Each structure stands twice: as structure tokens, then as C-alpha cells.
Amino acid sequence: MKKQKIVILGAGYGGLMTATKLQKAVGVNEVDIQLVNKHDYHYETTWLHEASAGTLHHDRVRYDIKDVIDRNKVEFIKGTVEQINTAEKKVILQEGELPYDYLVIAVGSEAETFGIKGLKEHAFSIVNVNAARQIREHIEYQFATYNNEKEKKDERLTIVVGGAGFTGIEFLGELANRVPELCREYDIDPHKVKIICVEAAPTVLPGFDPELVNYAVAQLEKKGVTFMIGTAVKEATENGIIVGKGEDEVEEIKAGTVVWAAGVRGNSLIEKSGFEAMRGRVKVQPDLRAPGHDDVFIIGDSSLVINEEINRPYPPTAQIAMQQGVTCAKNLVALIRGKEELETFTPDIKGTVCSLGEDDAIGVAFGKKMTGGTASFMKKVIDNRSLYMIGGPSLVLKKGKFNIL
Ligand code: FAD
Ligand code: NAD
């Protein structure tokens, strides 16, 4: 009998978890597995704010995919997916075509710009390793240029962060630690630097525990961050951003750097391939398959799972993407072995920890609130755990965070 073929698109948290779980569960000749990714490395999306601020080298946030896959069972293909043709069961890559029997779509997310004018042209987003490098280098360029100009442009030293969700806050934490270093490196008076966070909601980290939010705001303000709450970014321009409070109150903030961290949507590949989606995310069935497509699983940030307790979607997180990878691998094994009964995906949310720089954080884990060193320790344990789950102890030794005391 012809061997069946599983194609996994994306080697992020969801895709790589599926591949590494599958390779443990199947025999060498049981099924063909192909893993496709844009780059030959995996990056820790959850560490990109550090590479963007320049507090962690970009090579620390990535590792070779070939180091964690069993090449006897999984073939890695470096390629960029352009579209999926579900009717003909094939994936169209920039580099060619791939037929499949079962497909896993785990291509992550993109920045959500809500159609706001000028953002795509004038703002950066923390979306992958190269984008993170560009943000770091752009900020350094602004600092390096400042003292070499006859007419000093103070706005070069203004950095605006749009959105005070978890990404915005984690980036601000790193930035607030990095700016004093940059000032020393480039002979700049720290008082000239402005870090401004613009948040449309009435609070930072909307929906998160208010006591922890107050702690985060106080810590970041102490390090020089200014929050503009209840204020929405309306437009990005060559010179900075336009913000608004309500309909009439509009203000221009001149800035050398604008980082857009105000939310994500599913990968545009989803809509391009004809899946019915909400902001690029497909509401998957309990077994993680796309409605109407019994041979297609969608996991990670391009999938949408409803939290029945509050009747709202779970926020897209690495925590969920990895757990989906485990269920997806089990369900694929069941299908290739001819079983009809598939496992239902049930998220097991262990908590949320938000870093405020290298040595500070806030969080709720296993029902307990924490701040400062304890929360920061927990964050590093979580980071190391995700390495362990995909690549075992050797990956933790190679890439782990051990500056935990
Ligand atoms: P990803 O991990 O983003 O992987 C997608 C993969 O698909 C990438 O390798 C990409 O190169 C590849 N790909 C994309 N398009 C194509 C294409 N067309 N062709 C081929 N390959 C493609 N979540 C948490 O749970 N905890 C945290 O602490 C946390 N911190 C975060 C910090 C930051 C700064 C950010 C930005 C996010 C954070 N998140 C966190 C959210 C988390 O990173 C995402 O939910 C998670 O990465 C989603 O996993 P995924 O597998 O769907 O996508
Ligand atoms: P988010 O949706 O969680 O937050 C975006 C923020 O931007 C919101 O507070 C929103 O009110 C604000 N916003 C939207 N439009 C705006 C505008 N025009 N002007 C100003 N502010 C505006 O998005 P995120 O922070 O990018 O996070 C994406 C996902 O990644 C989330 O699911 C999050 O939980 C996850 N994440 C988790 C962690 C962690 O667990 N430590 C860290 C980073 C990201």
C-alpha cells in the first residue's frame, strides 16, 4: 500500500511540536512526513522583544531545525508557502508544489494594522528575527546619528510603542533597560530620550489583574516610560504618529522610531487559500481540523479556539500552540492508523507571565500572583521549558536562560 504523506507548514511552536511528537510516535516506514518552513531555523517568537531592543543577540533566539528533527522520519524543506489548494490537496510553494494526504497549517500570525494609515510604511513590528534586527539597528542608527548632526533633532531619540498589550509591555521592559546603555555608548544625555507608549484602552494590559498592572506601570514609569492611556494611534507618518483621544482631540508625536505592537491576526495565507476566517484565524473543530476539511489541521495563531467559560476566543499564545501540536500529532497518528475517533483539544492554561526586562516581571501561574524576581524566575523557567519540550535537555543546555538568580 502507498505510504500516506503528512505535510506540516511552519516550524514555529505549533508546527515543530507536531513534528517532534509525530517522529516519536511513528515507525520509520509508516508514513512520509515533510516539514516546510521559510527559514532553516526556528525562532522563539516569545523572545523577539529582547532581540528587538538589543538586550539579547538575535542568534540566541534561533536554532537549526535540523538539530531537533529525526531526519530518518521527517524531511525538512526550506520553502515559502504561497497558497494551499485544498481541492487538489497540494501546497504551492515559491519553489514548487507539494501534494499531501494530511496537512497541518501552523504558519503563525501577522501584525494587525486595522487599516490604520501609514503603519505599514512607517512603523516596525516585532514579527520575526529579521524584523527584530531591523528595529534594534534602526534605534542604534538614530542614537549614532544624533551627535553627528549640526542641528540636533531631539525627536530622533523618541521611541513610540503603539499598544500596551503583552508584546508592547515586554518590549518596553527591555527598551527601558537598553536605553541607558545606548546613552553611554553614544554619549547622549538620558534626559533627551523619550519612550512613549500609546494605548487605546482605558488601561495598560486590558483584562489583566489590576494590582499586577499597577506594579508594571510603576516599574516602567520609574525607568522613564510615559504612558498615554485611552489614546489611540490614528496614523503613522514620516515624522512620527498622530494620536487621538475621542473624536476631536488630535495630537502629533514626532518620533524617530515607531514600533507597532497592537495585536495580531492570522497569517494572510489562510484567507488567500479560501478558508473561512475571522481576522485570519479559522475557528477549528474540537479535533483541530478545519470545518469541511477532514484532511487539514490548523493550529497556533492561525487557529481560533473558543473559551466556553466566557464565550470568547482564547488569546493566541505559544502555550496554546504547543499544546495543540501535541493533540494534532496524536490525531494524525490515529488517522494514518485508520482510527476514526480523534482526541478533543482542551487548553490547559497554566498562567501568564509578562517580563518587564531581564530581572523583573509580573504574572499569575498556577493561580498565584507574583511580581519581581520570583515572576522573572518563573518566566525563564517557562522559556527553558518550551526549549525542553521540543529539543530535550541538549537544546536547553545550548539555548536556555540560566541567569536566573
Ligand atoms: P510561530 O511560532 O510564529 O511560527 C510560525 C512559523 O511559520 C515561523 O517559523 C515562520 O517562519 C513560518 N512561516 C510563516 N509564514 C510562512 C510561509 N508562508 N511559508 C513558510 N513558512 C512560514 N505566547 C506565550 O504563550 N507566552 C509568551 O511569553 C509570549 N511572548 C511573546 C512575546 C512576543 C514578543 C510575541 C510577538 C509573541 C509572544 N507570544 C507569547 C505569542 C506567541 O509567540 C505566539 O502565540 C506563537 O508564536 C504562535 O505559534 P505558531 O506556531 O502559531 O507560530
Ligand atoms: P494584544 O491584542 O494582546 O494587545 C494589543 C494592545 O494594543 C491592546 O491593549 C489594544 O487595546 C491596543 N491597541 C489596539 N489598537 C490600538 C491603537 N490604534 N492605538 C493604541 N493602542 C491600540 O496583542 P499583543 O500584545 O501583540 O499580543 C499578541 C498575542 O501574543 C496575545 O494573545 C498575547 O497574549 C500573546 N503574548 C503573550 C505574552 C506573554 O504571555 N508573556 C507576551 C507577548 C504576547
The closest residue, in CA terms, to atom 24 on ligand 2 is 263
- Counting from 1 in the atom list of ligand 1, the atom nearest the Cα of 52 is 34
Q: What is the rounded CA–CA span in Å between residue 398 and residue 405? A: 19
The percent of residues above 70 in pLDDT, for the chain, comes to: 99
**DSSP string computed for 68-126:** TS-TTTEEEEE--EEEEETTTTEEEETTEEEE-SEEEE---EEE--TT-BTHHHH-EE-
Asked, for residue 269, whether it belongs to a domain, the answer is yes
170 is catalytic: yes
Say whether both 55 and 169 belong to one domain. Answer: no
Q: What is the rounded CA–CA span in Å between residue 379 and residue 392? A: 18
pLDDT of residue 245: 87
Cα(261) to ligand 2 centroid in Å equals 6
Q: Are 363 and 378 in contact (CB under 8 A)?
A: yes
Active site residue: 44, 50, 170, 358, which one? Answer: 170
Choosing from 314, 329, 349, the residue where a domain stops is 349
Compute the mean pLDDT over every residue in the chain, rounded to the nearest whole number: 96
What is the total count of domains within the chain?
Answer: 2
Q: Which amino acid is at 279?
A: R
- The dihedrals phi and psi of 233, each to the nearest 5 degrees, come to -75, 125
Say whether both 273 and 345 belong to one domain. Answer: yes
ipTM of this complex prediction, to 2 decimal places: 0.99
CATH at 216: 3.50.50.60
Asked, for residue 13, whether it belongs to a domain, the answer is yes
In angstroms, the Cα distances linking 87 to 107, 252, 267, 288, 303 are: 20, 50, 20, 19, 20
Say whether both 270 and 158 belong to one domain. Answer: no
If we measure between CA atoms, which residue out of 325, 340, 386, 373 comes closest to residue 15?
Answer: 325
Ligand 1 pocket, Cβ-based, cut-off 6 angstroms: 10-15, 36-39, 45-46, 48-49, 80-81, 106-108, 126, 167, 170, 267, 269, 300-301, 316-319, 321
Write out the residue range of the structural domain in which residue 202 sits. 119-262
pLDDT level of residue 69 (50, 70, 90 thresholds): very high
Choosing from 314, 330, 349, the residue where a domain stops is 349
SS3 helix, strand, coil % of the chain, rounded to 5?
A: 35, 30, 35
Say whether both 244 and 190 belong to one domain. Answer: yes
Say whether both 218 and 283 belong to one domain. Answer: no
Asked, for residue 365, whether it belongs to a domain, the answer is no
Choosing from 349, 372, 400, the residue where a domain stops is 349
pLDDT digits (tens, 9 = 90+) for 167-186: 999 999 999 999 999 999 99
The model scores a pTM over 0.95: yes
pLDDT digits (tens, 9 = 90+) for 348-362: 999 999 999 999 999
Cα(42) to ligand 2 centroid in Å equals 23
Asked, for residue 371, whether it belongs to a domain, the answer is no
Any idea which ligand is nearest the CA of 166?
A: 2
Asked, for residue 390, whether it belongs to a domain, the answer is no
Q: What is the rounded CA–CA span in Å between residue 405 and residue 321? A: 29
